[in-house]
Amino acid sequence: MATLPAAPLETIEQFGPHLSYPAGARLDTAEEPDRQVKTHCCFCGQQCGIQLKIKDNVVVGFEPWEDFPFNRGMLCPKGVRRYLQGAHPDRLLTAYERDAAAPGGFRPLNYQAAVERVASEINRIQSAHGADAFAVLSGASLTTEKTYLMGKFARMCLRTANIDYNGRLCMVSAGAANKKSFGIDRSANPWSDIPQAEVVLIAGSNVAECSPITTNYVWQARERGAKVIVVDPRITPIARTCDLFLPVKPGRDVALFNGILHLMIEQGWIDQEFIDRYTVGFERVAEHVRQWTPQRTAEVTGVTEKAIRQAAQWWGQAKTSFLLHARGIEHHSHGVQNVLSTINIVLATGRLGREGCGYGTITGQANGQGGREHGQKCDQLPGWRDIDNPEHRAYIAKIWQISPEELPGKGVDAYEIFRKIDRGEIRGLLSICFNPKVSLPDNNFIGRMLDKLDFYVAIDFFLNESARHANVVLPGSLQEEDEGVVTSAEGRVIKINKCVDPPGDAREDWRIIQDIAQALGRQRGFTFDSPRQIFDELRRASAGGVADYSGITYEKVERQMGVFWPCPSEDHPGTPRLFEPGSWNPVAQGNGPFYFADGKARFNVATYAPPAEDVDADYPLLLTTGRVVSHFLSGTQTRRIGPLVDQYPEPRVELHPQLAEQLGIADGDWTTVESRRGACTLRAQVVRTIRPDTVFVPYHWAGLKSINQVTIAAQDPISKIPEYKVCAVRVSRASSPPAYAGVFEPQQ
Ligand SMILES: Nc1nc2c(c(=O)[nH]1)N[C@H]1C(S)=C(S)[C@@H](COP(=O)(O)OP(=O)(O)OC[C@H]3O[C@@H](n4cnc5c(=O)[nH]c(N)nc54)[C@H](O)[C@@H]3O)O[C@H]1N2
Ligand SMILES: Nc1nc2c(c(=O)[nH]1)N[C@H]1C(S)=C(S)[C@@H](COP(=O)(O)OP(=O)(O)OC[C@H]3O[C@@H](n4cnc5c(=O)[nH]c(N)nc54)[C@H](O)[C@@H]3O)O[C@H]1N2
Ligand code: SF4
Ligand SMILES: [Mo]
């Protein structure tokens, strides 16, 4: 049986990097496997094809899967090492119950007893405080089947309105803006359109570190002569090879894109025929951007007028183009406005729905796309249906064999769930595939709220930092221990194949959820025997919705190496490129290809506002946060994979030499970054690749190394995404090393 590390343990890397290699596990990739399974990487939304090598029910290595069209065998450092995670000694092999007297603060518990305790606590809380007093937080690394089941479980079994998911921290600004502009929330093109583009514009995406395989598509375009434009406060690796770099001041993208559109209109670099025929709302946008003269745009964004004019000219005059963005423009209190402003420059040129003419938001989590379509969002039902729409409610109620009145209404977003805990309105929480203690902003508050709960159950395969606050922990499944579909950044539905069985008392996540339903005595609707059965119900539930999966089968996914949704019937091949004239569209009754009744896309006025917290005399610098190539999200997985730890052992504060000199900080010095919410002391990394008014810290670490102690919980009013990408801080050389110094010091 697994033993838990002794308490108190704030972060797993206190073990030291060498111990994060799975001790004694079989890790020799050269070893002859029993079999190889074609599946996909468990980490980012690129969902690279990979073959895992299995010996004696253990994943022991990998081989490239060269036929899979997206990555053709290529993998990034995380994909190459992902096979190491399952054998880690921290893998949860049994259920646990919190017990202050036990070593590590938890004692093992029989699985069935744990499930029964969960059910009885749910009953107790809901009968005393109402159904909505129990909340669910779910995740977009789960297969689409599981995300569907989580939405159904919350609404039909628990009858709570309060379910939301970690994509709330990720893709919701893009999703909301895509819906507003196009009526559909999916990248518009397969990535094979990128190399065909004359101009590739990348806004707020560290492509080479966060969606590494996309780099290859961008470079193919460059090789064919394309101009690459990058908008980022940091010269990221992709920016080092671009043709034009716009070093935007964090939080100012909407001004930049409005300024670019201003010039495009002034110079006539727009497609008036497309605008007239296929869009509405252009005049209001044109009127609005009139104020965004190059001079004003330069003043607000910190980008030179010359560079703004050059970007407008290249983008405006191109015949083909592809615009990509990610969290750099989305993680803002005006993230939706930022995204709308980028979509406006795409719509104004009419370069959509044709070869080499594309737009895409690069999804983040493994199932960042599929995980936001089928009902685990607080306002959504399967098929991207709207929980407020009576017809949509009636349709799903029929599939679930309940009456529409039994379906709860709209719940609150993931952060608001914690505010409701603070107010005593939510008393119980089930989380799966989510580590809010590390990943939510202002996370000292989150830790206090987890402790305030009457009852908290976490389902995970590692005891993540949030689960350490749980009353009961249930051992869930790793990606390679289950099967199901996920949808990649391109909109391609692909199949995750089971490689090994969950070890010990661990269970496939969907079985655990059904076991809880059974223990509650509400198993009706939760008696699926397999992910395939869940998928078949999901297909029916999605039929006729915008995210229509009804024509997708496991066999077709395998045969075609993925099926792009929407796919309304089994003889339909799927829809790689959206908005092609004449393509299937369940919503449009007019001639246009967009997903509104009149078939026309919407221009939306995108208004600029400064970040929720701007700099002032006390906090004179901007903090922005994000990722490094070798770690993934809250680090639960990658901080347990030795070679990835060695590649980037601890977070560092990136700052420009000018700023470093001004502050008297040398490379490697302990440096404190402090905001109104909290402080974090880390080593400095002095780099010339960042704006001198901005510091950057990656967020993959917990406890004292967590930069989310410092970030702000401001949210976009429409999407409710947190403003991870900008808050005001002061930075100084630390007067003393942090408490963790010396406990684990990586070799420099
Ligand atoms: N290695 C690695 N890869 C990952 C992940 C990971 O954790 N590690 N996570 C996956 C997930 S879930 C996601 S969401 C994606 C995220 O992928 P990205 O969005 O590419 O990554 P981030 O580092 O969050 O931020 C991207 C860039 O935004 C820039 N930026 C900061 N503020 C601004 C701003 O105001 N404007 C502009 N234009 N840019 C700004 C940052 O400097 C950074 O280079 O990556 C996925 N892939
Ligand atoms: N400061 C700052 N904070 C950020 C961001 C930022 O850029 N800056 N980015 C935000 C973004 S874009 C994201 S997506 C979030 C991510 O934030 P989280 O979702 O909290 O981070 P994860 O590390 O994905 O946590 C997921 C947990 O799920 C578990 N898990 C993974 N797969 C499975 C599975 O199949 N089954 C089960 N049962 N468990 C599983 C992992 O072990 C891990 O403990 O962080 C956000 N936080
Ligand atoms: S790019 Fe993403 S999916 Fe591909 S190997 Fe790297 S982490 Fe895995
Ligand atoms: Mo994300």
694 CA to middle of ligand 4, Å? 22
pLDDT given for residue 7 in this prediction:
37
381 CA to middle of ligand 4, Å? 21
Pick the residue whose CA is nearest to atom 8 on ligand 3: 79
| Claim to verify: residue 261 and residue 396 sit in the same structural domain | no
Strand 652-655, strand 106-109: pairing: unpaired
The string of DSSP codes covering 699-711 is ----GGG-GGGTS
Domain that holds residue 53: 9-85
| Claim to verify: residue 302 and residue 435 sit in the same structural domain | no
pLDDT given for residue 30 in this prediction:
62
For the domain that residue 313 is a member of, what is the CATH number?
A: 3.40.228.10
| Claim to verify: residue 33 and residue 101 sit in the same structural domain | no
Residue 339 domain-assigned?
yes
Two structure tokens written together for 257: 């894109």
377 CA to middle of ligand 2, Å? 16
For the domain that residue 396 is a member of, what is the CATH number?
A: 3.40.50.740
633 CA to middle of ligand 3, Å? 13
Residue 583 domain-assigned?
no
User: Of ligand 3's atoms, which has the minimum distance to the CA of residue 46?
Assistant: 3
Q: Closest Cα to residue 48, out of 496, 665, 680, 643? A: 496
pTM of the predicted protein model: 0.96
User: Of ligand 1's atoms, which has the minimum distance to the CA of residue 234?
Assistant: 42
Q: Which ligand is nearest to the CA of 210?
A: 1
Pick the residue whose CA is nearest to atom 3 on ligand 3: 47
| Claim to verify: residue 38 and residue 109 sit in the same structural domain | no
C-alpha dist (Å) from residue 665 to 338, 459, 623, 671: 34, 42, 17, 8
Residue 402 domain-assigned?
yes
Question: What are the residue ranges of helices labelled H in 270-401?
Answer: 272-278, 282-289, 294-301, 305-317, 327-330, 335-349, 390-400
Residue 426 domain-assigned?
yes
Contact 54, 41 (CB under 8 A): no
pLDDT given for residue 28 in this prediction:
53
Residue 638 domain-assigned?
no
Last residue of a domain, one of 362, 379, 406: 362
pLDDT given for residue 114 in this prediction:
98
| Claim to verify: residue 210 and residue 349 sit in the same structural domain | yes
Last residue of a domain, one of 301, 330, 362: 362
Two structure tokens written together for 331: 């993680």
Q: Which ligand is nearest to the CA of 434?
A: 2
Any residues with Cβ below 6 Å from ligand 3, and which? 41, 43-44, 46-48, 75-76, 78-79, 212-213
143 CA to middle of ligand 2, Å? 14
| Claim to verify: residue 425 and residue 332 sit in the same structural domain | no
| Claim to verify: residue 202 and residue 289 sit in the same structural domain | yes
Q: Would you tell me how many other CB atoms lie within 10 Å of the CB of residue 430?
A: 28
Task: Please list the rounded mean pLDDT of every run of 10 residues in the chain (748 residues).
Answer: 42 42 48 92 98 93 96 96 89 96 93 98 98 98 98 98 98 98 97 98 98 98 98 98 98 98 98 97 98 98 98 98 98 98 98 97 98 98 97 98 98 98 98 98 98 98 96 98 98 98 97 98 98 98 97 98 97 96 84 93 98 98 98 96 91 98 98 98 98 98 97 98 98 94 54
pLDDT given for residue 19 in this prediction:
42
124 CA to middle of ligand 1, Å? 42
| Claim to verify: residue 427 and residue 462 sit in the same structural domain | yes
- Tell me how many domains the chain contains: 3
Residue 156 domain-assigned?
yes
pLDDT given for residue 746 in this prediction:
43
d(CA 53, CA 27): 11
Q: Would you tell me how many other CB atoms lie within 10 Å of the CB of residue 639?
A: 24
Kindly state if the Cβ of 81 falls inside 6 Å of ligand 1.
no
Residue 20 domain-assigned?
yes
| Claim to verify: residue 213 and residue 280 sit in the same structural domain | yes
Pick the residue whose CA is nearest to atom 5 on ligand 3: 79
pLDDT given for residue 29 in this prediction:
55
Tell me if residue 408 falls in helix, strand or coil.
coil
Last residue of a domain, one of 62, 85, 108: 85
509 CA to middle of ligand 1, Å? 28
User: Of ligand 1's atoms, which has the minimum distance to the CA of residue 78?
Assistant: 1
pLDDT given for residue 552 in this prediction:
98
Tell me if residue 295 falls in helix, strand or coil.
helix
| Claim to verify: residue 311 and residue 452 sit in the same structural domain | no
For the domain that residue 21 is a member of, what is the CATH number?
A: 3.30.200.210
Pick the residue whose CA is nearest to atom 30 on ligand 2: 433
Residue 596 domain-assigned?
no
Beta-ladder partners of 682: 671
Query: ∠ CA(623), CA(626), CA(632), 5° rounding?
Result: 150
Pick the residue whose CA is nearest to atom 3 on ligand 2: 439
Any residues with Cβ below 6 Å from ligand 2, and which? 139, 141-142, 166, 169-170, 327, 331, 364-365, 432-436, 439, 459-462, 464, 476-477, 479, 509, 625-626, 633-634, 636-637, 699, 707-708, 711, 724
| Claim to verify: residue 31 and residue 115 sit in the same structural domain | no
| Claim to verify: residue 297 and residue 314 sit in the same structural domain | yes
C-alpha dist (Å) from residue 290 to 263, 268, 280, 297, 601: 9, 14, 18, 11, 21
What backbone torsions phi and psi does residue 726 show, to the nearest 5 degrees?
-165, 130
